Structure 1
Amino acid sequence: MSLTTNSEYGARPRIWFAVYQLLWHLLLPLAFVRLAWRARHAFSYLHHIPERLGFGYSKPITQGTIWIHAVSVGETRAAQPLIDAYLARCESILLTHMTLNGRRTGKQLFAKEIASGQIRQVYLPYDICWAVEHFLKTFKPKLGLFMETEAWPTVVFRCKEIGLPLFLVNARLSERSARRVSHFGKAGRALFQAFAGILAQTEFDAQRYRSLDVKGVQIVGNLKFDVPLDPGLVEQGKVWRQDLHVSQRLMVCAASTRDGEETVILKAWKDLLLNHAFAIAPLLCLVPRHPERFSEVADQINSAGLKFRRRSEWSNIPNDCAGIDIVLGDSMGEMPMYYSASDLVLMGGSLLPFGGQNLIEACAAGCPVLLGEHTYNFQQAALDAIDSGAAKRIKGELLLTEPIALMESLKELLLNTAELKKMSDAAKDYLVKHQGATNKILAALDQQTTC
Structure 2
Amino acid sequence: MFISTHIQCWRAMVYLLYDLILFVASLFLVPYAFIKGLPYGNSLKGVCQRLGFYSGFDLQALCGKQVFWVHAASVGEVRASFPLIKALKDKFPESRIVLSGMTFTGQQVACEAADVDLVVFSPFDLSLVVKRSFRLIQPDVVIIIETEIWPNFIRIAEENSIPLVLANGRISKKSFPRYLSIKSLVKPLLEKISAFAMQDATCARRIKALGAPPELVQVTGNMKFDLPVSMPGTVAILDDQVKKKLLAGKFVWVAGSIRSGEAEILLQCHKQLISRGIPSFPIFAPRHPGCCISVAELLKKEDIPFALRSSLGKEKKGGEEVQILLVDTVGELTKFYALADVIFVGGSLVPVGGHNLLEPAQQGKPVLFGSHISNFKEISRLLLACGGGIKVGSGDELVSCLVELYRNEQLCDQMGQAGLTLIRENVGATEKTLSSICRILESKK
Partner of 2:178: 180
Partner of 1:82: 84
> Within 2, Cα distance between the matches of 1:347 and 1:65?
36
Give the alignment partner of residue 424 of structure 1, picking from 389, 403, 416. 416
State which drifts further: 364-373 or 53-62: 53-62
Partner of 2:267: 266
- What do the CA deviations read for 1:57-90 (whole angstroms, capped 9, x no partner)? 3324424301111222111111111111122221
Q: CA deviation at 1:304?
A: 2.2
In structure 1, what residue type is equivalent to 2:78? T
Question: Is the CA contact (8 Å cut-off) linking 1:182 and 1:189 kept in structure 2?
Answer: no
In structure 1, what residue type is equivalent to 2:105? N
Question: Is the CA contact (8 Å cut-off) linking 1:238 and 1:341 kept in structure 2?
Answer: no
In structure 2, what residue type is equivalent to 1:76? V
SS at match of 2:283: strand
Partner of 2:253: 252
> Within 1, Cα distance between the matches of 2:401 and 2:308?
26
In structure 2, what residue type is equivalent to 1:273? I
Q: CA deviation at 1:10?
A: 7.9
Question: Is the CA contact (8 Å cut-off) linking 2:48 and 2:54 kept in structure 1?
Answer: yes
- Aligned counterparts, 1:120-269, within 5 A: 120-215=118-213, 216-230=216-230, 234-236=234-236, 247-269=248-270
> Within 1, Cα distance between the matches of 2:243 and 2:418?
21
SS at match of 1:151: coil
Give the alignment partner of residue 25 of structure 1, picking from 23, 26, 41. 23
- Give aligned-pair identity as a percent: 26
State which drifts further: 411-420 or 96-105: 411-420
In structure 2, what residue type is equivalent to 1:173? I
Q: CA deviation at 1:230?
A: 4.8
- Aligned counterparts, 1:29-428, within 5 A: 29-39=27-37, 41-59=39-57, 60-61=59-60, 62-63=62-63, 64-88=66-90, 89-90=92-93, 91-110=95-114, 119-215=117-213, 216-230=216-230, 234-236=234-236, 247-274=248-275, 276-278=276-278, 281-315=279-313, 323-394=321-392, 396=393, 398=394, 403-428=395-420
> Within 2, Cα distance between the matches of 1:96 and 1:245?
38
> Within 2, Cα distance between the matches of 1:244 and 1:177?
45
In structure 2, what residue type is equivalent to 1:80? F
Question: Is the CA contact (8 Å cut-off) linking 1:256 and 1:349 kept in structure 2?
Answer: yes
Per the alignment, do residues 148 and 36 of structure 1 end up closer, same or farther by CA in structure 2, a change over 3 Å counting? same
> Within 2, Cα distance between the matches of 1:445 and 1:431?
24
Q: If the length of structure 2 is used for normalisation, what is the TM-score?
A: 0.88
In structure 1, what residue type is equivalent to 2:134? L
Structure 2: give runs of 5+ residues left out of the alignment: none
> Within 1, Cα distance between the matches of 2:233 and 2:414?
24
In structure 1, what residue type is equivalent to 2:416? S
- What do the CA deviations read for 1:356-389 (whole angstroms, capped 9, x no partner)? 1111111111011101111122121111111111
> Within 1, Cα distance between the matches of 2:101 and 2:327?
25
> Within 2, Cα distance between the matches of 1:182 and 1:357?
24
Question: Is the CA contact (8 Å cut-off) linking 2:108 and 2:331 kept in structure 1?
Answer: no
1:440 aligns with 2:442: no
- What do the CA deviations read for 1:286-317 (whole angstroms, capped 9, x no partner)? 1112112223321211222222122223249x
The alignment of Structure 1 onto Structure 2 pairs a total of residues equal to 427
> Within 2, Cα distance between the matches of 1:163 and 1:174?
29
> Within 2, Cα distance between the matches of 1:382 and 1:188?
28
Q: CA deviation at 1:428?
A: 1.1
Q: CA deviation at 1:49?
A: 1.5
Structure 1: give runs of 5+ residues left out of the alignment: none
Q: CA deviation at 1:323?
A: 2.9
Per the alignment, do residues 138 and 239 of structure 1 end up closer, same or farther by CA in structure 2, a change over 3 Å counting? closer
In structure 1, what residue type is equivalent to 2:133? F
State which drifts further: 236-245 or 38-47: 236-245
Question: Is the CA contact (8 Å cut-off) linking 1:285 and 1:326 kept in structure 2?
Answer: yes
Q: CA RMSD in A?
A: 2.8
Per the alignment, do residues 150 and 387 of structure 1 end up closer, same or farther by CA in structure 2, a change over 3 Å counting? same
State which drifts further: 197-206 or 298-307: 298-307
Per the alignment, do residues 50 and 41 of structure 1 end up closer, same or farther by CA in structure 2, a change over 3 Å counting? closer
Q: If the length of structure 1 is used for normalisation, what is the TM-score?
A: 0.87
SS at match of 1:27: helix
> Within 1, Cα distance between the matches of 2:134 and 2:160?
10
SS at match of 1:191: helix
> Within 1, Cα distance between the matches of 2:292 and 2:45?
22
Question: Is the CA contact (8 Å cut-off) linking 2:169 and 2:198 kept in structure 1?
Answer: yes
> Within 2, Cα distance between the matches of 1:327 and 1:235?
18
